[in-house]
Amino acid sequence: MRRMVWGTAFALALLTAPAATPATAAPQVGQRPTALQRLFDNTAVSDDARPAGADFDGAGRSLSAQDLTAAGWRAGRPLTVQGARLTWPRRAPGEPDNVRANGQSVRVRGHGDALAFLVAGTGGGEESGTGVVRYLDGSSSSYRLSASDWRGGPLATKAVALPHINTPGGQLVEQARLYVVTVPLTRGRSVASVELPRNGDLHVFALSVRSDSPGWTGSWAASTSGYPAVGPWTDRTLRLVVHTSAGGPRVRIRLDNTFAAGPVRIGSATVAVQASGASPRGAPVPLSFGGSGSTEIPAGAQAFSDPLDFDVPADSNLLVSFQLPGTVTAAPVHSLAVQQSYVSEPGDHAGDTAPDAYTSTILNWPLLTGVDVGNEPGGRAGGGPGSVVVLGDSITDGEKSTRDANRRWPDLLADRLREQSAVPRHGVLNQGISANRVVTDRYAGDGVSTDTGGVSALHRLDRDVLAQTSARTVVVFQGINDVRWGASAEQVVDGLREIAGRAHARGLRVLAATIVPCRGEARCTAAVDAERSAVNRWIRSESTDSGFDGVLNFDAVLRDPADPARLLPAYDSGDHLHPGDAGLAALAESVDLELL
C-alpha cells in the first residue's frame, strides 16, 4: 500500500495529477472550443531573407525557417516525440504559427495517458501556468504546464535546437530551443477540449493526446546515452541484436533520432529471430513506416514501424536490420550494449538471409530504442501485462556481465516473471545507462559527444520512463555515481523524491532500490560511503516522505556481512563497484515479484 507522501513529491503531485470533477460541474464560461491553428496570434518563424518578418519574443527575434527545414521540421509535417504525434504548423514564414497562452479553449479529441504540448517560453526563464482539461463525460481535471525558455532553457530536455536566431538586424549564431512537454490525463476518459493556461510568454505550437498504446507491451528498450561520432557509415546496413522479455504475435520497433541536429534517413528495415551471429532463423520480414518501406526521422523525433504479424518468442534474440542510405557520421546510441551487433558492406542488406555482407561488428545500439510486442488474445482489461521499467546506471546496464549472454539483472528478472503465474508476466525494459547520475548530466544533451553517460535521470525521465510502452511500474536504482562524484545525500534524495512524485502523477507504481557498496574502488572513499548510507537510510525508512510504493534492499543482498561497505567477494566482478554474473543473479532473485 502506498505510503502517505508529503513535502516536494506531494506538492508536485498536487500540481500535476489529474483531479477529476463530477460530471455535474458548471459548464465552461467563454468561447467555444476551436482548432488550435485558428487561435494563432504570434509569428515565430521568419525567412532568412526577411528576418524582420516575425517577432516571437516581442523584441523582434524569431526562428529561422531554413534551420527548421534543415532539421526536418517542415511546415505541416507530423512529428512523433515522446510517443506523441504532433504536427508542426502548416504556415509559411511570416504567418502566425503559435498561440500565446491566455486561457483559450482548444478543441482536442483523443483517449490516452497524457497531453503533449510543443512549446517554448519567451520571458527569459521557465514559464508556467495552470489549465483545464474537459472530458466528453462532462468532467474535468486541472494541469500545470511549464515551458523552458527558447534561448536559455536546458538543452538536455529539448525536442530540437536550431543553430541561429533571426533578428531585424541580421542573424545571430545562437541556439533556439523548442520543447515537447507532457502532462497527465485522467485515465479512461476521452478528451473533448483543453483550456490553455494564462501566461503570454508561454507559446503553444501544437497539442495532442498521447495514446496509451492499447494492445502493446514493451518487450525490449534501451536509452539513448549520447550522440557520438560513428563510422562514418555510407549506404550501410546495421543488424542489431536485441533480447526480448515478453513475447507476442505482433511486433513493432521504435527508432529515435534523439539529440540530433538533422534528420536521418532509414531505408528498408526488417526483423528476424536470430539463429547465430548475423544469421537469421528464416528470411527477415520487412517492416514498414506509415505504409512505406522507408522513412526519414526529423531531428529530435522518433519513428514507430507499422504493426507486423510476426511471432516474437519470449526470451529470444531478434535481429533488427535497417539500411542507412546516406552518410551518417554521428548518431544517437546506447553505448554499453554488452552485445555484439553487425554492420554490412555497402548496400541494402536488411533482407539478407546469409551473414556474409556483415563484415564489421559494433558493441552499441545506434538509433534503435524499443521493440514492442502485440498482446496475446484474451489479455486483461487495460491492454496486457504491461511493463516494468528499470531506471538505472551501469549495474543495470550490465557492465561486467558476460557479453552476448543476457545476464543483466533485468534480463534475469524477466526470466523469473515468465516462469511464474502469481503476478502478470510483465515485459521488462532496461533503461540503465553506464555512468548515469540522478541529478547531473554527463552529456549536455546537444552536439557530438565524447561522453555517453547520458543526461540525468531527472532530465530523461519523461522519455525513458513515462513515455515507454505499457509502463506500469518503475524501479529506480541509481545514486552511486552522484555520490562518487561529489553530490550530497540530500541532493540525491531530492532527485529521487522528484522522480517518485512525477511518476506517481502518471499513475505508475514506483519502487526504489538501495545503493550497493563499493569500498575498494578508487572513488569510493569513507566520505562517499557515508553519503551512500544516508541515501539508503532515507529509502528504507517508513517515516520518510519518499513516496515509494516499495523498497528493494539491494545493499543488503550484495554487501559483505563482515565489511558492509564492500561487495561480498563472491559477487564482486573484481573492480569493487560492479557485481559480476553471480551478483546480478542475486539482485534479480531478491526481487519480491508481488511488488511489481
What DSSP designation does 380 have? P
The candidate with the shortest Cα–Cα distance to 368, out of 332, 405, 318, 327, is 332
Mean pLDDT, rounded, of the chain: 93
CATH of residue 345: 2.60.120
| 240 vs 545: which has the higher pLDDT | 240
Q: How far apart are CA 305 and CA 289, in angstroms?
A: 5
Q: Is residue 399 part of a domain?
A: yes
pLDDT (0 to 100) of residue 4: 33
pLDDT (0 to 100) of residue 542: 57
The candidate with the shortest Cα–Cα distance to 372, out of 356, 357, 384, is 384
CATH of residue 409: 3.40.50.1110
- Say if residue 433 is in the same domain as residue 406: yes
Q: Is residue 1 part of a domain?
A: no
Burial label for 170, CB within 10 Å (0-12, 13-18, 19+), is exposed
Mean pLDDT score, 329-335:
98
Q: Is residue 180 part of a domain?
A: yes
Mean pLDDT score, 91-109:
98
pLDDT (0 to 100) of residue 383: 58
User: Mind listing the pLDDT tens digit for each residue in 127-144?
Assistant: 999 999 999 999 999 999
The candidate with the shortest Cα–Cα distance to 162, out of 589, 401, 153, 356, is 153
pLDDT (0 to 100) of residue 138: 96
Domain boundary among 183, 210, 237: 210
- Say if residue 531 is in the same domain as residue 408: yes
Mean pLDDT score, 66-95:
98
Q: Is residue 449 part of a domain?
A: yes
| 586 vs 5: which has the higher pLDDT | 586
- Per-residue DSSP letters for 552-587? E-HHHHHEETTEEEEE-GGGB-SSSSSB-HHHHHHH
Helix (H, G, I), strand (E, B) or coil at 460: helix
Instruction: Give the contacts of 446 (CB within 8 A, at least 6 positions apart).
Output: 155, 156, 158, 161, 175, 259
- Per-residue DSSP letters for 52-98? GG--SSSSS-BEEHHHHHHTT--TT-EEEETTEEEE-----TTS--B
The candidate with the shortest Cα–Cα distance to 429, out of 214, 213, 220, is 220
Q: Is residue 80 part of a domain?
A: yes
Phi, psi of 181 (to 5 degrees): -120, 135
Q: How far apart are CA 301 and CA 262, in angstroms?
A: 10
Q: What is the CA radius of gyration of the chain?
A: 24
pLDDT (0 to 100) of residue 568: 98
- Say if residue 118 is in the same domain as residue 223: no
25, 28, 33, 36: CA torsion to nearest 10? -90
Q: pLDDT band for position 30 (50/70/90)?
A: low
- Say if residue 557 is in the same domain as residue 437: yes
Q: Is residue 345 part of a domain?
A: yes
Instruction: Give the contacts of 339 (CB within 8 A, at least 6 positions apart).
Output: 241, 242, 243, 363, 365, 403, 404, 406
Q: How far apart are CA 569 and CA 513, in angstroms?
A: 21
- Say if residue 46 is in the same domain as residue 64: yes
- Say if residue 255 is in the same domain as residue 165: no
- Say if residue 17 is in the same domain as residue 165: yes
Q: Is residue 2 part of a domain?
A: no
Q: Is residue 578 part of a domain?
A: yes
- Say if residue 247 is in the same domain as residue 203: no
Mean pLDDT score, 555-571:
98
- Say if residue 30 is in the same domain as residue 108: yes
User: Mind listing the pLDDT tens digit for each residue in 281-306?
Assistant: 999 999 999 999 999 999 999 999 99
pLDDT (0 to 100) of residue 452: 97
Please state the pTM of the whole predicted model.
0.93
Contact of 273 with 316, CB cutoff 8 Å: yes
Q: pLDDT band for position 17 (50/70/90)?
A: very low
Domain boundary among 376, 398, 432: 376
Rounded to the nearest 5 degrees, what angle is found at the Cα of 303, between the Cα atoms of 410 and 333?
Answer: 50
Residue 19 has pLDDT above 70, yes or no: no
Q: pLDDT band for position 379 (50/70/90)?
A: very low
Q: How far apart are CA 513 and CA 477, in angstroms?
A: 5
pLDDT (0 to 100) of residue 243: 98
pLDDT (0 to 100) of residue 214: 83
Enumerate the β-bridge partners of residue 327. Answer: 234
Residue 382 has pLDDT above 50, yes or no: no
Domain boundary among 162, 193, 210: 210
Separation in Å, CA 61 to CA 22, 58, 75, 501, 548: 45, 7, 20, 37, 45
Mean pLDDT score, 213-220:
93
Contact of 114 with 42, CB cutoff 8 Å: no
- Say if residue 369 is in the same domain as residue 453: no
| 580 vs 1: which has the higher pLDDT | 580
User: Mind listing the pLDDT tens digit for each residue in 143-193?
Assistant: 999 999 999 999 999 999 999 999 999 999 999 999 999 999 998 999 999
pLDDT (0 to 100) of residue 212: 84
Residue 279 has pLDDT above 80, yes or no: yes
Helix (H, G, I), strand (E, B) or coil at 12: helix
- Residue 432 in grid coordinates: 540503465
- Say if residue 371 is in the same domain as residue 483: no
Q: How far apart are CA 436 and CA 482, in angstroms?
A: 8
Phi, psi of 410 (to 5 degrees): -65, -35
Residue 10 has pLDDT above 70, yes or no: no
- Say if residue 422 is in the same domain as residue 568: yes
Number of Cβ within a 10 Å radius of residue 534: 16
Enumerate the β-bridge partners of residue 181. Answer: 117
Q: What percent of the chain has pLDDT over 70?
A: 93
Number of domains in the chain: 3
Range of the domain at 450: 385-596
pLDDT (0 to 100) of residue 386: 94
Separation in Å, CA 216 to CA 315, 399, 457, 468: 17, 29, 25, 11
